[in-house]
Amino acid sequence: MALLEVSALSVSYGRVAALTDVSLKVEEGEVVTVLGANGAGKSTLLKAILGAVPAKAGGITFADADLTRAAPHRRMAQGLVLVPEGRRILISLTVEENLLLGAHMRRDGQAVQREMDAIYARFPNLAERRHMLASCLSGGEQQMLAIGRAMMAKPRLMMLDEPSLGLSPLFVSRLFDLIGELNAGGLSVLLVEQNTGRALKAAHSATVLELGKVSMAGNPAVLAADPRLQDAYLGGGAHP
């Protein structure tokens, strides 16, 4: 069974249908990307998987448990974590306090400390600034902190909502390297992106949403060569 399985999921905000009949799977160890224009329903999909918005129809199973109606904290305890759009780190707390927030559900103090040491080893900029306010960090460093905070929860599936948004090209490269490294370490990833080209290169499988419905899905290399995707998201020009 897949690690995450979303089946025929529909979500509405009042009378506005945000998702209709959306299905996708993340197998253990995979990076799966969800692409689509503004308002296509990508953030709603991540929120529904986390339980922040209710499913109107359909189901969500994660690690063999039906979580369709489970409260968000139960889903997080199962190993689901979201790095939200816009990072949402707490700029009036220090770097270290932000990291510790990610571990608030854990009771294994020594392992939490080891995790923090590993994050500081991975991100020397955060280690140097551990006692400084997060507001002192650059946008790219704040994104690394948001991902570090998510890692502190020891997730089985990390969901990232447009992590490259607003980052300099250097940080975008570092971000995609990091996603690859985390995945090589065994972490499964569900990646919402507008940086279609990079996301397709990083992913094992891809789903495109249009107006809340799945319009294309499958192998990223096949999708990258598809004229419809080329026109809509990759700048076109690759076909007559």
- Give the one residue of 9, 18, 153, 223 binding ligand ATP; rule: CB under 6 A: 18
CB of residue 21 vs ligand ATP: minimum separation in angstroms? 15
CA distance 189 to 59: 19
Query: Residues 188-207 vs ligand ATP: string with x where CB under 6 A?
Result: --------------------
24-63: contacts with ligand ATP (CB under 6 A): 36, 38-44
Interface with ligand ATP (CB under 6 A), residue total 11
End-to-end CA, the chain: 42
Q: Does 16 bind ligand ATP (CB under 6 A)?
A: yes
83 sits near ligand ATP (criterion: CB under 6 A): no
Q: What are phi and psi of 213, to 5 degrees?
A: -125, 155
Least gap, CB of 126 to ligand ATP (angstroms): 27
CB of 230 to ligand ATP, least distance (A): 20
Report the alpha-carbon distance of residue 222 to residue 168 in Å, rounded.
28
Q: Which stretch binds ligand ATP (CB under 6 A): 10-18, 58-66, 131-139, 213-221?
A: 10-18
Helices (H), 54-138: 72-77, 95-102, 109-122, 124-128
Stretch (H or E) spanning 9: strand 4-13
Q: Considering beta carbons, is residue 38 or 110 the nearer one to ligand ATP? A: 38
* Closest-CA residue to 62 (of 115, 100, 9, 119): 9
Spatial separation of the C-alpha atoms in residues 18 and 196, rounded to whole Å: 21
Q: Which is nearer to ligand ATP, 14 or 237 (CB)?
A: 14
Phi and psi at residue 203, to the nearest 5°: -100, 155
State which of residues 13, 124, 237, 240 lies at the interface with ligand ATP (CB under 6 A).
Answer: 13
Pairwise CA distance, residues 98 & 120, whole Å: 13
Q: Give whichever of 55 and 99 is closer to ligand ATP, judged by the CB atom.
A: 55
Binding site for ligand ATP (CB under 6 A): 13, 16, 18, 36, 38-44
